[in-house]
Amino acid sequence: MKIKIIISLVVIVMLATAFIYKAPPHKLTYLKLFIPKGWPKPATDIFVTNPLTEEGFVLGKKLFYDGRLSKDGNFPCSSCHQQFAAFSTYGHDYSHGFNNSLTKRNAPGLFNLAWQKAMHWDGGINNIEVQPLTPITAPNEMAETLFNILIKLKVDTAYVRLFKAAFKDGVINSQHMLKALAQFTGSIQSYNSKYDKVKRGEDSFTVSEKMGYKTFLDKCNSCHTEPLFTDNSFRNNGLTLNFKLPDSGRMTITGNPTDLYKFKVPSLRNCSVTLPYMHDGRMFSLGKVIDHYRKGIDTTQATLDTLLKKGLFISDQERIDLLSFLYALKDSEMLRDPRFIQANDILLPVNYDH
Amino acid sequence: MKVNFLSTVLFFFISCFSTLDAACQLNNSPNGSIKISFINTLNSVPIILDAVNYTNCWNENFTISALKYYISNVQFKTSNKKSIKEKNSYHLIDEENIVSKSFLCTVLPGNYLTLSFLIGVDSIKNVSGAQTDALDPLNSMFWTWNSGYIMFKLEGNSPNSTIVNNKIEYHIGGFAGTNNVLRQVELNLENNKALININSITEIVVQADVGKLWNAVHELKISQTPVCSTPGAPAAGIADNYSKAFTVIKIIN
**What residue ranges do the domains of chain A occupy?**
54-189+335-340, 194-330
Question: Please, which residues have CB within 8 angstroms of residue B202's CB and are 6 or more apart in sequence?
Answer: B32, B33, B34, B35, B112, B194, B195, B196, B251, B252, B253
What's residue A71's pLDDT?
A: 96
Distance CA A260, CA A252 (A): 8
The amino acid present at A348, given as its one-letter code, is: L
Contact state of B132 with A174 under an 8 Å Cβ cutoff: yes
Number of neighbours of residue A237 by Cβ within 10 angstroms: 19
Greater pLDDT, B192 or A10: B192
- B79/B203 same-domain check: yes
What's residue B19's pLDDT?
A: 40
Distance CA A6, CA A19 (A): 20
Cβ-based contacts of B8 with chain A (< 8 Å):
8, 11-12
Please name the helix (run of DSSP H) or strand (run of DSSP E) that holds residue B151, with its range, or none. Answer: strand B148-157
Cα torsion A199, A205, A207, A211 to 10°: value is -40
- Given a cut of 80, whether residue B35 has pLDDT beyond it is yes
Contact state of A174 with B130 under an 8 Å Cβ cutoff: yes
- B166/B117 same-domain check: yes
> A194-330 falls under which CATH superfamily?
Cytochrome c-like domain (1.10.760.10)
- Give residue B18's domain range: 1-29
- B63/B93 same-domain check: yes
Cβ-based contacts of A255 with chain B (< 8 Å):
179, 230-232
Q: Do B158 and B222 meet the contact criterion of CB atoms below 8 Å apart? A: yes
Give the tens place of pLDDT for each residue, B53-90.
Answer: 999 999 999 999 999 999 999 999 998 888 999 999 99
Contact state of A182 with B130 under an 8 Å Cβ cutoff: yes
Q: Are strands B167-173 and B227-228 parallel, antiparallel or unpaired?
A: parallel
Q: Do A277 and A271 meet the contact criterion of CB atoms below 8 Å apart? A: yes
- Given a cut of 60, whether residue B21 has pLDDT beyond it is no
- Given a cut of 60, whether residue B13 has pLDDT beyond it is no
Contact state of A4 with B15 under an 8 Å Cβ cutoff: no
Q: Are strands B148-157 and B167-173 parallel, antiparallel or unpaired?
A: antiparallel
- B16/B92 same-domain check: no
Mean pLDDT of chain B: 89
Estimate to the nearest angstrom the gap between the alpha carbon of A295 and the chain centroid: 32
Rg (CA), chain B: 23
Q: Is B130 on the interface with A (CB under 8 A)?
A: yes
Cβ-based contacts of B230 with chain A (< 8 Å):
255
What's residue A11's pLDDT?
A: 62
The minimum CA-CA distance between B127 and chain A, rounded to whole Å, is: 6
Cβ-based contacts of B1 with chain A (< 8 Å):
1, 4-5
- B106/B200 same-domain check: yes
Q: Are strands A101-102 and B32-42 parallel, antiparallel or unpaired?
A: unpaired
Q: What is the mean pLDDT of each run of 10 residues along chain A (354 residues)?
A: 68 61 78 96 93 97 97 96 97 94 96 97 97 96 96 97 96 98 98 98 98 98 98 98 94 95 98 98 98 97 97 98 98 97 60 38
- Given a cut of 70, whether residue B10 has pLDDT beyond it is no
Give the tens place of pLDDT for each residue, B94-138.
Answer: 999 999 999 999 888 889 999 999 999 999 999 999 999 999 999
What's residue B191's pLDDT?
A: 82
Closest to B246 in 3D by CA, of B35, B33, B40, B90: B40
- B89/B105 same-domain check: yes
What's residue A10's pLDDT?
A: 67
- Residues of A within an 8 Å Cβ radius of B: 1, 4-5, 7-8, 11-12, 14-15, 18, 46, 49-50, 124-130, 133-134, 137-138, 146-147, 150, 173-175, 178-179, 182, 252-253, 255
- B3/B57 same-domain check: no
Q: Is B129 on the interface with A (CB under 8 A)?
A: yes
Distance CA A146, CA A71 (A): 10
Give the tens place of pLDDT for each residue, B233-242.
Answer: 999 999 999 9
SS3 per-residue string spanning chain A:
CHHHHHHHHHHHHHHHHHHHCCCCCCCCCECCCCCCCCCCCCCCCCCCCCCCEHHHHHHHHHHHCCHHHCCCCCCCHHHHCEHHHCCECCCCCCCEEHHHEECCCCCCCCCCHHHCCCECCCCCECCHHHCCHHHHHCCCCCCCCHHHHHHHHHCCHHHHHHHHHHCCCCCCCHHHHHHHHHHHHCCCCCCCCHHHHHHCCCCCCCHHHHHHHHHHHHHCCCCCCCCCCCCCCEEECCCCCCCCCCCCECHHHHCCHHHCCEEECCCCCCHHHCCCECCCCCECCHHHHHHHHHHHCCCCCCCECHHHCCCCCCCHHHHHHHHHHHHCCCCHHHHHCHHHCCCCHHHCHHHHCC
What chain B residue is nearest to A175 in terms of C-alpha separation?
Answer: B130
CATH for A54-189+335-340?
A: 1.10.760.10
Number of neighbours of residue B111 by Cβ within 10 angstroms: 13
Contact state of B144 with A138 under an 8 Å Cβ cutoff: yes
Number of neighbours of residue B94 by Cβ within 10 angstroms: 21
Q: Are strands B148-157 and B32-42 parallel, antiparallel or unpaired?
A: unpaired
Across B171-190, average pLDDT: 95
The minimum CA-CA distance between A196 and chain B, rounded to whole Å, is: 31
Angle among Cα B205, B209, B210 to the nearest 5 degrees reads: 145
Number of neighbours of residue B134 by Cβ within 10 angstroms: 20
Distance CA B240, CA A181 (A): 38
DSSP bridge partners of A125: A119
Distance CA B37, CA B214 (A): 24
- Which stretches of B20-158 are DSSP H helices? 21-28, 123-126
Give SS3 for B161: coil
Model's pTM, two decimal places? 0.89
A304: left (phi over 0), alpha (psi -120 to 50) or beta: beta
B15, B128, B232: residue with CB nearest A49: B128
Number of domains in chain B: 2
Cβ-based contacts of A147 with chain B (< 8 Å):
138
- B2/B113 same-domain check: no
Cβ-based contacts of B15 with chain A (< 8 Å):
15, 18
B9, B138, B232: residue with CB nearest A146: B138
- B9/B91 same-domain check: no
Cβ-based contacts of B141 with chain A (< 8 Å):
none
- B11/B81 same-domain check: no
Phi, psi dihedrals of residue B23, rounded to the nearest 5° = -65, -40
Cβ-based contacts of A150 with chain B (< 8 Å):
138
Question: Please, which residues have CB within 8 angstroms of residue B105's CB and are 6 or more apart in sequence?
Answer: B33, B34, B35, B36, B74, B76, B86
Closest to B147 in 3D by CA, of B157, B133, B162, B137: B137
- B239/B161 same-domain check: yes
Distance CA B253, CA B233 (A): 41
Half-sphere exposure of A104 (CA within 13 A, CB side): 15
Number of neighbours of residue B197 by Cβ within 10 angstroms: 13
- B2/B60 same-domain check: no
Q: Is B147 on the interface with A (CB under 8 A)?
A: yes
